[in-house]
Amino acid sequence: MALAQETKRITAQFEYTDEDVNTGVQEFLRQMNEGLQKDGTSMSQIPTYVTGVPNGTEKGLYLAVDLGGTNFRVCSIHLNGDTTFNLTYSKVAIPKELMTAKTAQELFAFLAKQIELFLKTHHEEHFEAHTQRRQTISTPDGFADEHLFRLGFTFSFPVQQFGINKGTLIRWTKGFDIPDAIGKDVCALLQDEIEKLHLPVKVAALVNDTVGTLMARSYTSPGNTSTLLGAIFGTGTNGAYVEKVTNILKPVEGQYDKSTGNMVINTEWGSFDNQLNVLPNTSYDIELDKMSVNPGIQMFEKRVSGMFLGEIVRLVIVDMLKNPNISLFRDENSSFNDWQSTTTIGGDSTIMRQWGLDSSIMSIAAADNTPEFSTLRQQLESQLHIYAASSEDAQAFKNVAYAVGRRAARLSAVAIGAIVLQSGLLSDGTDEPIDIGVDGSLVEHYPYFRDMIHEALSAIKGIGSEGTKRIRIGIAKDGSGVGAALIALVAAGMEKHNTVGHNLSAIKNDITQKVMAAIPETGSSTTVV
């Protein structure tokens, strides 16, 4: 039973108690408000100039691309105007070598190529028509403006935004490291590569995935309730929420619609508590951080998101493998196992390599409640080349993964709970749901992730079990695509106003007003049919 005991000792280090949750919430509120007061704090609290959220009646066909960390998605979205949409999409993994390419151009050329492939595959007629048109029309880029696809660019890295389709990269996260791109306008980088391929596409809007998720959830969510928070639990983690303008004490440059009294704030909560005032810090967290490309930053993200959870589990497992006093994935156990074979870790197993364990196996471990863990053991073989693990081995692996996953869910509740408290909605005297949209493989696929969040929320002072009942967390499926389309729609509306003589600078940063204004017009201003 040495293995079981040692597993218990290690998993105890990942316990994150109700008291820890409450301490975390207080510090999260403090750092949130600090970020609303000044620049240069751990949580950036970036004003997005989005001053409201959609209501489900918006219409049109748009392109959207999403660079989120692990995958690059290209999609076209038809917003039907009745809270529904149709979506066609393709997805490709970002080649690892491009994440640390020498120049930004290499990465963005790859992205433009994927857009070209998508158009050829899914919008061929349109693509052909425009390729021919190009030769006959003499506008600078060869296309009549109204025939361009408007594209919403979901770019989920910290960006200083200067306008609806203009923003410079502040820093890379999630394993990307292309110094050449820092300080450059990412929309211009993409547009340049699109133009090299002569595609009929205009990068119309720059969108953070959290804002996209918030917009998409608000478009699709049931009833009239508007959404408070859009949150991502995928490769990375981050959230954007609706804040009262009066709480934003640092200067917000440029113009925006003040009529709603609200503005969406991109928290960049992945950097919550980089100073480690309250975050748990096991030896495994320390080692992960030390070996990462960005030591000392994104410290919350490194304990919560998909990119890192598998690595934490891996570091624990490696530690256990090296411990001579216990036997994990070794012959001793396999003499009892039902496969009648010898447990071996294949020479090509990635378990000893950094990033060698994908978080998805944690979901499989959590879901496998069979007595023999046959599914988990199969995955240990196929994913990690760990052959003929015993039930005891599988149980130990499952417990480690669960401890790491559960801590992540409870930390997620810290962020969500703090934002619910900050909104003041719990004391608004109604029993309306407080709506939260979430997206990302972790929250979507990890069994009971949302239940574990709810459980932790109910332990928060000021929320409790009554408050928790009002908090409705819904998956914003394809959130970033639909959200990007919604913001591209706003941008198209803004361009249109500009051509009929409105003062663009006056409406430049005003998103909501245009979402609302675009509702009756969009049917006719649909860019491509």
Catalytic residue annotation = 156, 171, 209
- Selection from ligand ADP, Mg ion, none that 306 binds (CB < 5 to 8 A by kind) is ligand ADP
Nearer to ligand ADP, 109 or 442 (CB): 442
Closer CB to Mg ion, 70 or 131, in the complex: 70
- Is residue 234 a contact point for Mg ion (CB under 5 A)? yes
CB of 262 to Mg ion, least distance (A): 24
**d(C-alpha 341, C-alpha 329), whole Å:** 12
From the CB of 471, what's the least distance to ligand ADP, in Å? 22
* Cα 18 from Cα 54, distance rounded (Å): 36
- Give the separation between CA 252 and CA 126, rounded to whole angstroms: 41
**Residue count at the site for ligand ADP (CB under 6 A)?**
19
DSSP 306-354: HHHHHHHHHHHHHHHHH-TTS-SSSHHHHTTSTT-S--EE-TT-GGGST
- Could you tell me if 425 and 242 are in contact, meaning their C-beta atoms sit under 8 angstroms apart? no
Q: Does 477 bind ligand ADP (CB under 6 A)?
A: no
Instruction: Tell me if 360 contacts ligand ADP by CB under 6 A.
Output: yes
Q: Which of residues 346-375 bind Mg ion (CB under 5 A)?
A: none
Q: How far is the CB of 500 from Mg ion (least distance, A)?
A: 36
Cβ proximity to ligand ADP, 479 vs 493, nearer residue? 479
441 binds ligand ADP (CB under 6 A): yes
Q: Does residue 323 belong to the site contacting ligand ADP (CB under 6 A)?
A: no
Alpha carbon distance 314, 44 (integer Å): 31
Q: Does 152 bind ligand ADP (CB under 6 A)?
A: no
The packing angle between helices 360-367 and 306-322, to 10°, is 70
Q: Identify what 362 binds: Mg ion, ligand ADP, none; CB under 5 to 8 Å per kind.
A: ligand ADP
CA distance 519 to 529: 17
Tell me: does residue 362 bind ligand ADP (CB under 6 A): yes
Binding flag, residue 445, ligand ADP (CB under 6 A) = yes
Please report, to the nearest 10 degrees, the dihedral formed by the alpha carbons of residues 425, 428, 432, 433 taken in order.
10
Among 220, 359, 422, 526, binds ligand ADP (CB under 6 A): 359
Q: Of 27, 358, 392, 455, which lies in the binding site for ligand ADP, with binding defined by CB under 6 A?
A: 358
Q: Work out which of 158, 212, 234, 239 binds ligand ADP, going by CB under 6 A.
A: 234
456 lies in the binding site for ligand ADP (CB under 6 A): no
Binding to ligand ADP by residue 507, rule CB under 6 A? no
Give me the least distance between CB of 363 and ligand ADP, in Å please: 3
Angstrom distance (rounded) from CA 233 to CA 88: 23
Judge whether 449 and 405 are in contact, CB under 8 Å: yes
Burial of residue 498, with CB atoms counted within 10 A of its CB: 0-12 exposed, 13-18 middle, 19 or more buried: middle
68 scored as a contact of Mg ion (CB under 5 A): yes
CB of 446 to ligand ADP, least distance (A): 5
Interacting residues with ligand ADP between 9 and 68 (CB under 6 A): 68
Within 207-338, where are the H helices? 209-220, 283-291, 301-304, 306-322, 331-334
Q: How far is the CB of 60 from ligand ADP (least distance, A)?
A: 24
Q: Please tell me the distance from the alpha carbon of residue 383 to that of residue 363, in angstroms, as a whole number.
A: 13
437 binds Mg ion (CB under 5 A): no
- What are the Cα distances from residue 22, in Å, to 29, 85, 134, 228? 11, 39, 60, 21
In the window 267-306, what residues touch ligand ADP (CB under 6 A)? Answer: 306
Q: What one-character DSSP code corresponds to residue 497?
A: H
- Other beta carbons less than 10 A from residue 39's beta carbon: 11
In whole angstroms, how close is the CB of 70 to ligand ADP at the nearest point? 4
The amino acid present at 489, given as its one-letter code, is L
User: In angstroms, what is the minimal distance from the CB of 82 to ligand ADP?
Assistant: 27
**Amino acid identity, residue 478?**
D
Least distance CB 467 / ligand ADP (angstroms):
28
Stretch that binds ligand ADP, among 53-61, 199-207, 353-361, 495-503 (CB under 6 A): 353-361
Q: Measured in Å, how far apart are the chain's first and last C-alpha atoms? A: 66
Q: How far apart are CA 129 and CA 301, in angstroms?
A: 45
User: Would you call 177 exposed, middle or buried from its count of C-beta atoms within 10 A (0-12, 13-18, 19+)?
Assistant: middle
Report the partner that residue 425 touches, choosing among ligand ADP, Mg ion, none (CB closer than 5 to 8 A by kind).
none
Residue, CB closest to ligand ADP? 234
Find the binding residues for ligand ADP in span 192-231 (CB under 6 A): none
Measuring CA to CA, which residue among 201, 104, 219 is closest to residue 155? 104
Sign of CA dihedral 117, 168, 231, 224: negative
Residues 64-103 as x/- pattern, contact with ligand ADP by CB under 6 A: ----xxxx--------------------------------
Q: Which is nearer to Mg ion, 234 or 493 (CB)?
A: 234
CB of 56 or CB of 310, closer to ligand ADP: 310
Q: List residues binding Mg ion (CB under 5 A).
A: 68, 234
Q: Which residues bind ligand ADP (CB under 6 A)?
A: 68-71, 234-235, 306-307, 310, 358-360, 362-363, 440-442, 445-446
